[in-house]
């Protein structure tokens, strides 16, 4: 034999000849052997479903003998009950209409009661005149595929269940947080007045900012009448946060109220509070303390002039906005934290408010708010004094509104509770004699 181009073919070597002989032997398997030992199941049925031929592979899968199947069973006899229903309602009608079906998932019954998941393809063989003669069916073992699908389904169900549980846990956590926030809000309101009472001849305004809705604040304030036409007010900040701070706040507020009714002198009320806190908390090795400023207001003379006497225990100084546009601090030097030592020194101050004057009390959340690009600077008393000067003169509600806007401008730099309380003499007497604002 010659190669293309006229040259002789090279002679085959012995190894090549033996390889070709082995390959040729493989190809000489009989068609019957290929049918019987195929890696899939084959069967042919009459048009009524009677099995006319079935290969060994499928018989072995089902654990059946050929004699018990060929000519004796229908294709549907090999199926499970569910498979039979699907065959009658879908498989057979579609096969009659289309002449062929591919990859239909069914289940076949094994001898002994087991099930074999399979994928079935079928085609109708027609005669020369076009008449249907028989049905050829191919069956593929889908056990591994079905197991894989079941595993996928199981994993998906587990994932969906885990997601549902996570969603439920999140909803429960959100509901718990909402209930906690509501409970904390109710408790927080119990620690400060819901609103300020109307004070004859004065305007009042207040604002309370809570740094975190998840924690009870430690700032407090109050305003109430005492003997005669005098009124006592106070504002302070207890150490710590949470339930312990709430307990200290409650004790502080009601102690000051009781002390002021007994003796309305601000310094005397603070001295009583200092003794109570020191006795209550120092003995157990867990001292608790607060800063506090207490004042008493008493009208004097005509034209609304009012004397304000203050006592402070380590609290920032009060700020007065005058009707002539000035702003000034009322220093209370020497005052020590309340509850730290017995007989703590208490700073005092006194001033007179005329028409258009407003006194402002605040907690250190205001002056210790962090500012600047890196939030590394404290707002401070100098900046507060400049701010007050820019807003003087101002009625209490105007000053508190301006300070509330200032607090909001700090953004995340305001990380502490802040209480604001303003009292002032109206520049022009109101018809009711009192204007009260609570923000």
pLDDT in tens, 189-208: 667 787 899 999 999 999 99
Give the pLDDT band (50/70/90) at residue 2.
very low
Report the alpha-carbon distance of residue 399 to residue 60 in Å, rounded: 95
Helix, strand, or coil here: 404?
A: helix
Q: Distances in Å between the alpha carbon of 418 and those of 160, 177, 335, 359, 368?
A: 46, 23, 21, 17, 10
Give the pLDDT band (50/70/90) at residue 10.
low
Mean pLDDT along residues 165-179: 86
Number of continuous H segments (helices) and E segments (strands) in the chain: 11, 18
Report the alpha-carbon distance of residue 314 to residue 296 in Å, rounded: 18
Closest CA to 415 of 355, 368, 374: 368
Token reading at 86: 């699907």
What is the structure's pLDDT at 437? 41
Give the pLDDT band (50/70/90) at residue 318.
very high
Per-residue pLDDT of 353-393, as tens digits, reads: 999 999 999 999 999 999 988 888 999 999 999 999 999 99
Give CATH superfamily name and number for 193-438. PPM-type phosphatase domain (3.60.40.10)
Q: Does domain 16-141 have CATH number 3.40.50.720?
A: no
Report the alpha-carbon distance of residue 418 to residue 330 in Å, rounded: 20
The count of C-alpha atoms lying within 13 angstroms of the C-alpha of 356, restricted to the half-sphere facing its C-beta, is: 11
Query: What is the pTM assigned to this prediction?
Result: 0.62
- Establish whether the linkage from the previous residue to 393 is cis, with ω within 30° of 0: yes
- Domain locations in the chain? 16-141, 193-438
């Amino acid at each position: 034999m010659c190669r293309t181009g006229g040259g002789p073919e090279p002679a085959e070597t012995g190894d090549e000849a033996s390889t070709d002989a082995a390959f040729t032997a493989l190809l000489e398997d009989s068609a019957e052997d290929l049918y019987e030992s195929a890696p899939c199941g084959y069967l042919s049925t009459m048009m009524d479903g009677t099995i006319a031929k079935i290969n060994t592979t499928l018989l072995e899968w089902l654990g059946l003998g050929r004699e018990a199947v060929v000519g004796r069973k229908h294709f549907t006899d090999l199926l499970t009950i569910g498979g039979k229903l699907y065959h009658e309602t879908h498989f057979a009608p579609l096969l009659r209409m289309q002449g062929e079906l591919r990859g239909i998932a069914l289940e076949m019954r094994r001898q002994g009661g087991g099930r074999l998941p399979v994928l079935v393809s079928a085609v109708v063989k027609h005669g020369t005149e076009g008449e249907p003669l028989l049905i050829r069916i191919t069956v593929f073992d889908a056990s591994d595929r079905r197991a894989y699908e079941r595993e996928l389904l199981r994993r998906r169900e587990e994932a969906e269940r885990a997601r549902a549980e996570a969603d439920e846990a999140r909803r429960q956590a959100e509901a718990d947080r909402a209930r906690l926030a509501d409970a904390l809000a109710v408790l927080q309101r119990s620690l400060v007045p819901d609103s300020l009472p109307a004070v004859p001849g004065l305007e009042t305004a207040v604002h309370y900012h809570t740094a975190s809705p998840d924690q009870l604040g430690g700032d407090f304030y109050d305003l109430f009448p005492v003997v005669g036409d005098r009124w006592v007010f106070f504002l302070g900040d207890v150490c710590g946060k949470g339930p312990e701070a709430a307990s200290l706040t409650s004790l502080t507020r009601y102690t000051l109220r009781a002390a002021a009714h007994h003796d309305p002198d601000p310094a005397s009320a603070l001295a009583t509070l200092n003794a109570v806190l020191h006795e209550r908390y120092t003995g157990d090795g867990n001292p608790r303390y607060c800063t506090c400023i207490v004042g008493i207001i008493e009208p004097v003379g005509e034209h609304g002039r009012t004397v304000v006497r203050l006592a402070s225990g380590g609290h920032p100084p009060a700020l007065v906005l005058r009707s002539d546009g000035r702003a000034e601090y009322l220093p209370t030097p020497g005052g020590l934290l309340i509850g730290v030592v017995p007989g703590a020194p208490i700073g005092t101050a006194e001033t007179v408010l005329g028409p258009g004057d407003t006194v402002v009390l605040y907690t250190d959340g205001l002056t210790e708010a962090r500012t600047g690009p890196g939030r590394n600077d404290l707002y401070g008393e100098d900046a507060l004094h400049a701010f007050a000067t820019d807003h003087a003169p101002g009625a209490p509600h105007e000053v508190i509104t301006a300070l509330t806007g200032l607090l909001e401008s700090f953004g995340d730099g305001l990380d502490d509770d802040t209480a604001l309380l303003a009292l002032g003499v109206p520049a022009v007497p109101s018809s009711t004699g009192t204007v009260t604002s609570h923000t």
